[in-house]
């Protein structure tokens, strides 16, 4: 089997397994807790994330709480969350400010994206994973959007892959 076909089949089986998790709520709750705890020690004020699809872990509740917590600090911080919007010309991603209730629209893949909000450059980026392997190798959906984006972003944001084991 060719590498391309192998990855295609692997993606399909991993997505199917993720969609069939019987304990998704428990896993999601635990990962939300880990994120909230971990974020306390991070100095970042702009974090990029993703809109969850196909059974992915949803990082947005923990990030919204992180954003609100920044306003309660002794010296309040303006924290912002960015969601990806496809730059069709370069086939990369740009991150637009997201907050609960902000205007949204679907992109060409049917994924919700912020509509007409400010472009931000995250210093920390949570990346969705279809799967992952030893050494942090990430298996995505195969479009290369994150790979091209990360190759271009300067300075490079810290990246954290999120997914269920």
Decide: 157 and 48 in contact? Cβ < 8 Å: yes
Determine what percent of the chain falls in helix, strand and coil, rounding each to the nearest 5: 35, 25, 40
Q: Tens digit of pLDDT for each residue in 58-97?
A: 999 999 999 999 988 888 889 999 999 998 888 999 999 9
pTM of the model: 0.92
Q: Tens digit of pLDDT for each residue in 134-150?
A: 888 899 999 999 999 99
Q: Tens digit of pLDDT for each residue in 99-130?
A: 999 999 998 889 999 999 999 999 999 999 99
Token representation of residue 52:
């969850």
Runs of H (alpha helix) within the chain:
3-19, 24-39, 60-71, 145-152
């Amino acid at each position: 089997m060719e590498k391309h076909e192998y990855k295609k089949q692997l993606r399909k089986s991993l997505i199917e397994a993720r969609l069939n998790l019987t304990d998704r709520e428990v896993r999601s709750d635990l990962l939300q807790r880990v994120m909230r705890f971990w974020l306390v020690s991070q100095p970042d004020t702009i974090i990029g994330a993703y809109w969850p699809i196909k059974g992915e872990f949803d990082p947005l509740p923990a990030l919204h709480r992180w954003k609100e917590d920044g306003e309660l600090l002794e010296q309040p911080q303006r924290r912002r969350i960015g969601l990806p919007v496809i730059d069709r010309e370069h086939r990369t991603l740009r991150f637009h400010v997201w907050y609960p209730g902000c205007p949204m629209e679907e992109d060409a893949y049917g994924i919700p994206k912020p509509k007409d909000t400010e472009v931000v450059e995250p210093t920390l980026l949570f990346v969705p994973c279809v799967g992952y392997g030893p050494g942090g190798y990430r298996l995505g959906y195969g479009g290369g959007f994150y790979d091209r984006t990360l190759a271009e972003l300067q300075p490079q944001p810290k990246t954290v892959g999120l997914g269920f084991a």
